[in-house]
């Protein structure tokens, strides 16, 4: 995590700050539709879905009454901070046209700023995906069957 934050700070130091002024940052060449706004909220919600996984592994957490809220209170602001820095880095180094025309914004961002080392971006996305799958598998294996299966005396574990 520290590497990500340090990397984002590096990008902010070499970015284009004029793109972050309110006149430029909030100017829209076209008005977004309700569907586009809803899609943006849906995509952003995936960044915060990890806190729900903690509920399934509370039996394995040491002192869950203390550590579960602590994990939520620390992780949500941290994820918000990192995502905000990421978006600032994107908007300060790429024009809105480049962002909209890109199929993979992180790869376009990497090609523009990192040159030959832009291969780091898809590798980082793949590693992040494996981390997400790891969390999903860790928690989904702890989900239990509903009450009807348990009340009938059937315990799948």
What digits encode the pLDDT tens for the residues 50-93? 666 777 777 788 898 898 889 888 888 888 898 889 888 888 88
Q: Report residue 105's pLDDT band, with 50, 70 and 90 as the boundaries.
A: confident
What is the domain extent for residue 138? 105-143
CB 107 within 8 A of CB 124: no
**What is the pTM assigned to this prediction?**
0.60
Q: Does residue 55 form part of some domain?
A: no
Q: Report residue 3's pLDDT band, with 50, 70 and 90 as the boundaries.
A: very low
Cα pseudo-dihedral 125, 128, 130, 132, rounded to 10: -130
Q: How many domains, in total, are found in the chain?
A: 2
Q: Give me the mean pLDDT over the 99-114 stretch.
A: 86
The reply to whether 111 and 134 lie within a common domain is yes
Q: Is the confidence at residue 20, as pLDDT, over 70?
A: no
CB 120 within 8 A of CB 110: yes
Q: Does residue 139 form part of some domain?
A: yes
């Amino acid at each position: 995590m520290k590497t990500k934050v340090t990397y984002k700070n590096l990008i902010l130091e070499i970015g284009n700050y004029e793109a972050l002024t309110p006149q430029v940052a909030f100017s829209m060449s076209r008005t977004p539709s309700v569907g586009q706004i809803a899609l943006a909220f849906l995509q952003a919600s995936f960044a915060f879905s990890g806190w729900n996984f903690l509920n399934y592994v509370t039996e394995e957490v040491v002192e869950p009454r203390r550590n579960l809220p602590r994990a939520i209170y620390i992780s949500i602001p941290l994820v918000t901070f990192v995502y905000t820095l990421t978006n600032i880095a994107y908007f300060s180094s790429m024009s809105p046209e480049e962002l909209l025309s890109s199929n993979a914004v992180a790869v376009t961002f990497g090609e523009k700023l990192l040159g030959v080392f832009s291969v780091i971006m898809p590798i980082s996305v793949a590693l992040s995906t494996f981390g997400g799958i790891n969390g999903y598998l860790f928690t989904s294996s702890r989900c239990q069957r509903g009450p009807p299966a348990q009340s009938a005396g059937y315990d799948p574990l």
